[in-house]
């Protein structure tokens, strides 16, 4: 708040501020310390600052464009939307034009936009109780992407929203250990404005939002949305063709392949052969049949050019399971680039999830993957070692188009994709990529005459760079690189390094999420042998991340028993749900492998 008066009495200074607006107590923040800063003025003349460690002020210039007071803190786990003084860990706010990556620039913009959205969704209108926390977070996440799309349209952020937010949500809600949250609606923006105005500087609950949306749309919003927020999970909509009719059937989806009894009111948008031939309806029952000619004005011929896409632009939070005929036609549409990037991703993401749940043949997934070979901007989920060559072919084609060096005028997405594709090729053991990366690594260290290519040399060289750099983003990158080493002995050293004073606690999860396949067993043994870790961090957010990142990648029924027995002895109440979800992931993987072996796709191992 603006300063009213300052009084100095010897060594005592008293500062009086204007009275703050009505706010929840969790939004009050005061910081005292030695900070550097960069300042500017908003379009209407209000002065704003970005505070940071001394010597890093210029790195706050990019975030300052968002016009609000913010502070970068070295020891901080994420970001917090405090009223008038938003706080961030350094790598989520600071951006170095010369050393930061395109991915980091996007992350800074998205996180800052998220926290600013909270000034309305969470600060101005606060949830009545923590059971309605999603009112804060869901809207802030959605609005942040809306803002970024306006500010940086060239980033095509909505295609990334699908991959980052929607796909991630579908995976988590596909677990039996998920939990409940508590349409395209006309005049939604006016209804939201009315909701914000009515509950400004007070509390609201989920039903208040549905009432505002229903009043502004004359749609059964409350009934529709209750089916989504008051039960866990989501449906898979099975679609098949029979005598020129489309048959829809909904069941609850679980990645484990289990059968649930949930039922939803599902908004369905579909098109036939073109996005111009589109139809929408609400699937209110378990099943429904539509006449294709009557509804979409087209007929389904037994040709690959006659395709039907359900959940157009992936606007619905559900998966779609097509029969073989429809899926083959969609493969042709993907190959010919008739579908949008969001729809291409949605089809592949669903196909992978359905195969994991043993609801679709693995052979169908492999056939579908062939249609994506020339589509550089689409993400491909990672599969099994036994199909390395297939993925090497997919990624290599993309890498050859992108190259190692930036190209004049290339898109923001291509810059980000280059890093992802080259990392994927290295992970899958592509020799030329690994050799070129090693060569560039030597150049980076300014040590061209060195011929030592051992893991030990790489570890010690990167560790030296880690200790020399002051850029938090660079430190995080190096830690992830160290953890990805396939040598279990190096993995153990990196894990022990996490416990030293040289590594900030908030950086630990980035390291654990990067542990190589070869190092997963080492990481699990490390955690079991150091039970004091859980005692030290059991009251914080970090132990939840540690358990999730170490347990989830394990993949055998024996490990399920091992994990269960360990945490029965070393019980940590705060991680109960995370532990159950992580163990469910461990169970899902061997179940999928077993199903593939039964189909004689994978050998026994």
For 380-407, write each residue's pLDDT tens digit.
443 344 356 656 766 877 888 899 988 8
pLDDT in the model for residue 317:
93
Indicate whether 546 belongs to any domain: yes
On whether the CB atoms of residues 203 and 128 are closer than 8 A, the answer is: yes
Residues contacting 252, CB < 8 A, separation 6+: 233, 234, 235, 236, 259, 260, 261, 262, 263
Cα four-point dihedral sign 497, 499, 505, 506: positive
Indicate whether 219 belongs to any domain: no
Give the number of other CB atoms < 10 A from CB of residue 191. 20
Indicate whether 192 belongs to any domain: no
Residue 82 has pLDDT above 70, yes or no: yes
pLDDT in the model for residue 188:
65
- DSSP 8-state class, residue 121: B
Indicate whether 155 belongs to any domain: no
Report helix angle 472-483 to 455-468, nearest 10: 160
On whether the CB atoms of residues 554 and 519 are closer than 8 A, the answer is: no
- Annotated binding-site residues for Zn(2+) read 114, 118, 137
Give the pair of three-digit tokens for residue 88: 């961030």
Q: Give pLDDT tens digits for 473-513.
A: 889 889 988 888 888 899 999 999 988 889 988 887 778 88
Task: Report which secondary-structure segment, H or E, holds 344.
Answer: helix 341-356
Indicate whether 306 belongs to any domain: yes
Give the pair of three-digit tokens for residue 45: 């003349």
Least confident of 50-59, 84-93, 465-474: 465-474
Residue 287 has pLDDT above 90, yes or no: yes
Indicate whether 584 belongs to any domain: yes
Among 85, 113, 139, identify where a domain stops. Answer: 139
Average pLDDT, the chain: 84
Least confident of 244-253, 301-310, 534-543, 551-560: 534-543
Question: Structural domain tally of the chain?
Answer: 3
Among 117, 139, 161, identify where a domain stops. Answer: 139
Confidence of residue 597 (pLDDT cuts 50, 70, 90): very low
CA distance 67 to 78: 20
Q: Which domain holds residue 561?
A: 531-605
Indicate whether 193 belongs to any domain: no
Q: Is 115 noted as a catalytic residue in this protein?
A: yes
R_g of the chain computed on alpha carbons: 26
CA distance 54 to 164: 34
Catalytic residue among 115, 474, 549, 584: 115
Least confident of 22-31, 178-187, 283-292, 488-497: 178-187
pLDDT in the model for residue 291:
87
Cα three-residue angle 335-338-339, rounded to 5 degrees = 95
Burial status of residue 43 (CB atoms within 10 A of its CB: 0-12, 13-18, 19 or more): exposed
Residue among 338, 396, 329, 399 nearest 367 (CA): 329
pLDDT in the model for residue 453:
53
Give the pair of three-digit tokens for residue 116: 């600013």
Q: Give pLDDT tens digits for 139-177.
A: 899 999 999 999 999 999 988 888 888 888 888 888 887
CA distance 5 to 306: 74
Residue among 255, 217, 220 nearest 236 (CA): 255
Indicate whether 179 belongs to any domain: no
Among 107, 122, 139, identify where a domain stops. Answer: 139
């Amino acid at each position: 708040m603006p300063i009213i008066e300052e009084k100095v009495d010897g060594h005592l200074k008293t500062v009086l501020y204007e009275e703050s607006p009505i706010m929840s107590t969790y939004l009050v923040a005061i910081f005292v310390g030695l900070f550097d800063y960069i300042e500017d003025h908003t379009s209407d003349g209000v002065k704003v600052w970005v505070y940071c460690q001394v010597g890093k002020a210029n790195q706050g210039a990019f975030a300052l464009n968002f016009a609000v007071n913010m502070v970068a803190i070295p020891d901080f786990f994420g970001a917090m939307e405090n009223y008038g003084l938003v706080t961030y860990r350094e790598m989520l706010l600071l951006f170095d034009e010369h050393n930061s990556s395109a991915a980091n620039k996007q992350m800074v913009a998205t996180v800052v936009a998220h926290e600013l959205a909270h000034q309305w969704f969470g600060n101005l209108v606060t949830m009545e109780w923590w059971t309605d926390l999603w009112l804060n977070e869901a809207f802030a996440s959605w609005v942040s992407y809306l803002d970024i799309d306006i500010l940086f349209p060239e980033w095509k952020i909505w295609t990334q929203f699908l991959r980052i937010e929607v796909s991630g949500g579908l995976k988590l809600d596909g677990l039996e250990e998920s939990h409940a949250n508590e349409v395209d609606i006309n005049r939604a923006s006016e209804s939201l404005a009315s909701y914000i105005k009515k509950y400004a500087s007070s509390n609201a609950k989920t039903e208040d939002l549905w009432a505002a949306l229903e009043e502004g749309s004359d749609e059964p919003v409350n009934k529709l949305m209750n089916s989504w927020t008051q039960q866990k999970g989501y449906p898979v909509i099975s679609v098949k063709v029979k005598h020129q009719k489309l048959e829809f059937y909904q069941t609850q989806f679980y990645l484990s392949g289990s059968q649930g009894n949930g039922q939803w009111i599902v908004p369905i948008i579909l098109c036939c052969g073109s996005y111009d031939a589109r139809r929408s309806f609400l699937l209110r029952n378990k099943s429904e049949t539509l006449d294709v000619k009557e509804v979409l004005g087209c007929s389904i011929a037994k040709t690959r050019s006659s395709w039907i896409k359900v959940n157009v632009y992936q606007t619905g939070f559900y998966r779609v399971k097509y029969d073989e005929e429809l899926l083959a036609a969609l493969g042709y549409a993907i190959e010919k680039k008739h579908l949008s990037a969001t729809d291409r991703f949605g089809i592949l993401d669903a196909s992978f999830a359905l195969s994991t749940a043993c609801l679709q043949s693995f052979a169908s997934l492999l056939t579908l993957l062939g249609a994506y070979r020339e589509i550089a901007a689409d993400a491909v989920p990672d599969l099994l070692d036994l199909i390395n060559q297939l993925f090497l072919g997919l990624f290599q084609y993309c890498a050859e188009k992108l190259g190692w060096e930036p190209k004049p005028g290339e898109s923001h997405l291509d810059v980000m994709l280059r890093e992802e594709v080259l990392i994927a090729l290295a992970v899958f053991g592509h020799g030329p990529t690994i050799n070129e990366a090693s060569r560039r690594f030597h150049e980076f260290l300014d040590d061209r005459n060195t011929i030592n290519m051992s893991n030990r040399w790489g570890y010690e060289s990167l560790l030296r760079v880690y200790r020399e750099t002051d850029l938090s983003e660079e430190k995080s990158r190096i830690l992830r690189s160290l953890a990805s080493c396939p040598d279990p002995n190096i993995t153990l050293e990196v894990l022990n390094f996490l416990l030293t004073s040289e590594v900030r606690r908030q950086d630990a999860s980035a390291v654990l999420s990067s542990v190589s396949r070869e190092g997963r067993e080492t990481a699990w043994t490390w955690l079991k042998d150091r039970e004091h870790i859980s005692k030290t961090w059991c009251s914080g957010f970090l132990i939840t991340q540690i358990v999730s990142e170490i347990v989830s990648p394990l993949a055998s029924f024996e490990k399920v028993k091992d994990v269960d027995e360990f945490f029965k002895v070393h019980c940590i109440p705060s991680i109960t749900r995370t532990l159950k979800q992580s163990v469910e992931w461990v169970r899902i993987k061997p179940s999928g492998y077993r199903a593939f072996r039964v189909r004689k796709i994978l050998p026994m191992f």
